[in-house]
Chain A
Amino acid sequence: MKRIGVFVCHCGINIAETVDIEAVVKDLKDYPGVAYVQDYKYMCSDPGQNMIKEKIKSEKLDGIVIAACSPTLHENTFRMTVKTVDMNPYNCEIANIREQCSWVHKDKNEATPKAKLIIKSVVEKALLDEELEPVKVPVVRKALVLGGGIAGIQAALSIANSGHEVILVERQSSIGGRMAQLSETFPTLDCSQCILTPKMVDVAQHEKIRLMTYSELEDISGFVGNFKVRIRQKTKYIDWDKCTGCGLCIEKCPKKVPSEFDQELGKRKAVYTPFPQAVPNKPVIDHENCTYFKTGKCKLCKMVCPFDAVDFDETDKFVEEEVGAIVVATGYDVYPVLNMDEYGSGKLPDVIDGLTFERILSSSGPTGGEVRRPSDGKVPKEIVFIKCVGSRDPENHFPYCSKICCMYTTKHAMLYKHRVHDGQPYIFYMDVRAGGKGYEEFYQRAQEEDNVIFLRGKVSKVYQDDDKVVVCGIDTLSGSNIEIRADMVVLAMAIRPSKGVEELAQLLKTAIDQNGFLTEAHPKLRPVESLSAGIYLAGCAQAPKDIPDTVAQASAAASMVSNLFAQEYLLHEPIITGVDEDLCSGCGLCITVCPYDARTLNREKSIVDVNEILCEACGACAAACPSGAAQQRNFTDKQLSNMIKAILI
């Protein structure tokens, strides 16, 4: 049998006042397995720790129990202490006789027997404790960033600038994301492209960043520090190694289709770059719309290409990489107007969403920055903005606030007024949420300098009447019904997580919340970590947020990645649940209860294999195992059973 030493702390009078230490020491001396018992006034003090070290050596102890305060406080202290005299730290256990005994009982006759039981049960645990070593996990110092919007760009640059390699994967042919579509940004009215495009170029030119656009994550396996990813490079039909981006093919392509980048207000060709400042500025052929793929004739692009870069026989390529950390920055989509019956279900041409209005305002947009309505190109003289469309509407759409609409709608009204001086903008709002640096001032300016009329209330109906769009609403401040015969209506549609995020979350084995956004590990203290170790979140994939918040979160995610990469290797708690191969029947019950996919069925041997690195040591599988093959180290069935008995003697 092991020789266990018990060290009982007085904690000044914190324990000694309600626990009869002398009686505890006397009682423990006779307990089976206890070789030595000693009390001391402050066990955590230097003399206390030195005494423990001396006694471990002189009494030849091979396990100790410190009866003192909660293990939360000093478990680590004492484990480090015993390590210096070559005792395995996992053979040092804490019996909590302060927080869970002396501080919650007043009567010595009550607290003393209870303290004895607590210590005895922990002695039973210590008697069967194994010597354990933390599992060491190597780290691949290369990061994968999913999404090339401002969040992904910021995260990639920040990780790369700290000296680590980054693979940036974007499913469009250019990085830039939603921010590239925006006109000017609140509250400073900076031109969005002017502040974004230099960063896009930095990404493309950074020696540590491998940019993979027109690509998507196909598969992933592994765990923190050691992910294996498979990336699909979609067929571009253009060999980008040969292509110089001269644009001749685009010029000659005869097929025009609505441009997604311009929210379908403008046109693009079937061979195209999404916008002129695209990075990389090289085109792809849109298989669905290409005349050659439809009719078998055309190939004009191939004929004019001076570099023979067009390849109609190209197929998808797959790239496999190892990465240590992943940043998910997959951004957002705008909730489609067609979901809004009361606002015309997207059938009224002059009722558009906010992102479409951004393109109208953009100087590189389809109208060259002139405010002209989509139906007839007329300059609208009265324009109505409606906020919270789909957001804050738990009955019909989504319960959450989309956060950015208050500010961008104010900006829209302001920019409209700057371009149409004799025009009148109206904003229907539920509340104005202008929490942010300079935001409230911006909102005030819109009212005072640009005469934007704010109407507090919801709009019940929007319909077409001749060439007017009639907006019926209520002003709840005056209590009056309002009807505005407007020329155009802009809806601040709810922000939705971008398409495919659900499948991505499944692939990454991380969670999404009830609204479809990726869930952070803790809403306050771990806002950039996902629920899976080594996977971090940035931008609107996690929740709606504006550009400054997105950049801040992306920088934070990058810094978490750098923290991870700064470690020589990762240490993992060794109190995991293994498998006794002789007892395991391969029933797989433990596999179904494991939240981490740490257990897999080995069909060949008909047993369960355990990935010790994935195991987080909850012990759910140990309780599920019908044969006792799954035993959690240092929390075995035998240990728990003996602890129970020690309490009940």
Chain B
Amino acid sequence: MFEPKIVAFFCKWCTSAGADLAGTSRITYKPNITGIRVMCSSRVDPEHVLDAFKNGADGVLIGGCHPGDCHYQTGNYQTLKRMKLLKKMLTDLNINENRLRLEWISAAEGKRFAEVVDDFTEEVRNLGQIQYMRL
């Protein structure tokens, strides 16, 4: 079975704390994902996402605080805008836009964190290995 490689960016305040909660609650999920902790999801530059795809990531997951809950007031809205635009560009690069997923996961949503990871892993698995088209 194809095992996709997934790079994830978690904001420190919500999603990374939610991932920690999944751990302390011993909720298991697929191991295909490896996370990078940033202060805020808004630190994630679309270039980082492209960088990941270019280097062979089959999927990229970005986790931030729920709308209105951002530790930095408006960071997650910036992320939302940027990633929506980036998804349009991905199509032009012949990358299925579903390989990029933005999710709001709070520090209290350990179970949801695990569900999101499993669901995204399966989705990316079904999309198969990435074929990155160099422009």
Count the A residues whose beta carbon is within 8 Å of the partner chain — how many? 42
With A99-B24, A644-B36 known as contacts, the answer to whether A620 contacts B75 (CB < 8 A) is: yes
- Tell me which of A99, A105, A111, A619 contacts B40 (CB under 8 A): A619
Q: Please determine whether A72 and B20 come into contact, CB atoms closer than 8 angstroms.
A: yes
A132 contacts the other chain (Cβ, under 8 Å)? no
Q: Please determine whether B48 and A641 come into contact, CB atoms closer than 8 angstroms.
A: yes
B102 contacts the other chain (Cβ, under 8 Å)? no
Q: Please determine whether A100 and B51 come into contact, CB atoms closer than 8 angstroms.
A: no
Q: Please determine whether A641 and B51 come into contact, CB atoms closer than 8 angstroms.
A: yes
B105 contacts the other chain (Cβ, under 8 Å)? no
Shortest C-beta distance, B23 to chain A (Å), equals 3
With A619-B40, A623-B43 known as contacts, the answer to whether A648 contacts B31 (CB < 8 A) is: no
With A595-B73, A620-B78, A623-B42 known as contacts, the answer to whether A104 contacts B37 (CB < 8 A) is: no
A430 contacts the other chain (Cβ, under 8 Å)? no
With A623-B45, A635-B38, A648-B52 known as contacts, the answer to whether A103 contacts B75 (CB < 8 A) is: no
B126 contacts the other chain (Cβ, under 8 Å)? no
Q: Please determine whether B78 and A70 come into contact, CB atoms closer than 8 angstroms.
A: no
Inter-chain CA distance A595–B42, complex, in Å, is 11
Inter-chain CA distance A105–B22, complex, in Å, is 11
Residues of B within 8 A of A110 (CB): 31
Q: Which of A78-122 contact B (CB under 8 A)?
A: 96, 98-100, 103-107, 110-111, 113-114, 117-118, 121
Q: Please determine whether A622 and B37 come into contact, CB atoms closer than 8 angstroms.
A: no
Query: Which A residue sits closest to B40, measured CB to CB?
Result: A618
Q: Please determine whether B27 and A104 come into contact, CB atoms closer than 8 angstroms.
A: yes
Q: Please determine whether A644 and B78 come into contact, CB atoms closer than 8 angstroms.
A: no
With A72-B17, A623-B78 known as contacts, the answer to whether A103 contacts B51 (CB < 8 A) is: no
Q: Which of B7-57 contact A (CB under 8 A)?
A: 7, 16-17, 19-24, 26-29, 31, 34-40, 42-48, 51-52, 55-57
Inter-chain CA distance A620–B44, complex, in Å, is 8
| Interface of A (DSSP majority class) | helix
Q: Please determine whether B73 and A104 come into contact, CB atoms closer than 8 angstroms.
A: no
Q: Please determine whether A622 and B26 come into contact, CB atoms closer than 8 angstroms.
A: no
Q: Please determine whether B22 and A104 come into contact, CB atoms closer than 8 angstroms.
A: yes
Q: Please determine whether A648 and B39 come into contact, CB atoms closer than 8 angstroms.
A: no
> Which interface residue of A106, A110, A643 has the most chain B CB atoms within 10 A?
A643
Inter-chain CA distance A96–B37, complex, in Å, is 10
Inter-chain CA distance A622–B51, complex, in Å, is 16
Q: Please determine whether A637 and B45 come into contact, CB atoms closer than 8 angstroms.
A: yes
- Tell me which of A104, A113, A648 contacts B56 (CB under 8 A): A648
Residues of A within 8 A of B31 (CB): 105, 107, 110-111, 113-114
Shortest C-beta distance, A107 to chain B (Å), equals 8
Query: What range describes how many residues of B lie at the interface?
Result: 35 or more
A616 contacts the other chain (Cβ, under 8 Å)? yes
Shortest C-beta distance, A127 to chain B (Å), equals 15
Q: Please determine whether B39 and A617 come into contact, CB atoms closer than 8 angstroms.
A: yes
Q: Please determine whether A619 and B19 come into contact, CB atoms closer than 8 angstroms.
A: no
Residues of A within 8 A of B61 (CB): none
Residues of B within 8 A of A620 (CB): 40, 42-43, 72, 74-75, 78
Q: Please determine whether B82 and A644 come into contact, CB atoms closer than 8 angstroms.
A: no
Shortest C-beta distance, B26 to chain A (Å), equals 6
Q: Please determine whether A644 and B52 come into contact, CB atoms closer than 8 angstroms.
A: yes
Residues of A within 8 A of B74 (CB): 593, 595, 620
Residues of B within 8 A of A648 (CB): 5, 7, 52, 55-57
B100 contacts the other chain (Cβ, under 8 Å)? no
Inter-chain CA distance A110–B36, complex, in Å, is 18
B95 contacts the other chain (Cβ, under 8 Å)? no
> Which interface residue of A616, A618, A619 has the most chain B CB atoms within 10 A?
A618
With A121-B36, A595-B75 known as contacts, the answer to whether A619 contacts B43 (CB < 8 A) is: yes
B114 contacts the other chain (Cβ, under 8 Å)? yes
Inter-chain CA distance A647–B20, complex, in Å, is 19
Query: Which A residue sits closest to B107, measured CB to CB?
Result: A72
Inter-chain CA distance A100–B22, complex, in Å, is 8
Q: Please determine whether A593 and B42 come into contact, CB atoms closer than 8 angstroms.
A: yes
Contact with B along A266-281 (1 / 0, CB 8 A): 0000000000000000
Residues of B within 8 A of A71 (CB): 37
Residues of B within 8 A of A552 (CB): none
Residues of B within 8 A of A619 (CB): 38-40, 42-43
Shortest C-beta distance, A616 to chain B (Å), equals 6
With A100-B23, A618-B42, A620-B78 given, can you name 15 additional A-B contacts, CB distance below 8 Å?
A: A72-B20, A103-B24, A104-B22, A104-B29, A106-B28, A107-B31, A618-B40, A619-B38, A620-B72, A637-B45, A640-B38, A640-B43, A647-B34, A648-B55, A648-B56
Q: Could you show 29 A-B contacts with beta carbons less than 8 Å apart?
A: A96-B37, A99-B24, A100-B35, A103-B23, A105-B29, A105-B31, A107-B31, A114-B34, A117-B34, A511-B73, A531-B73, A593-B42, A593-B78, A595-B75, A616-B72, A618-B42, A618-B75, A619-B39, A619-B40, A619-B42, A619-B43, A620-B75, A620-B78, A623-B45, A623-B82, A640-B36, A644-B7, A648-B7, A648-B55
User: Which B positions have Cβ atoms within 8 angstroms of A?
Assistant: 5, 7, 16-17, 19-24, 26-29, 31, 34-40, 42-48, 51-52, 55-57, 71-75, 78, 82, 114
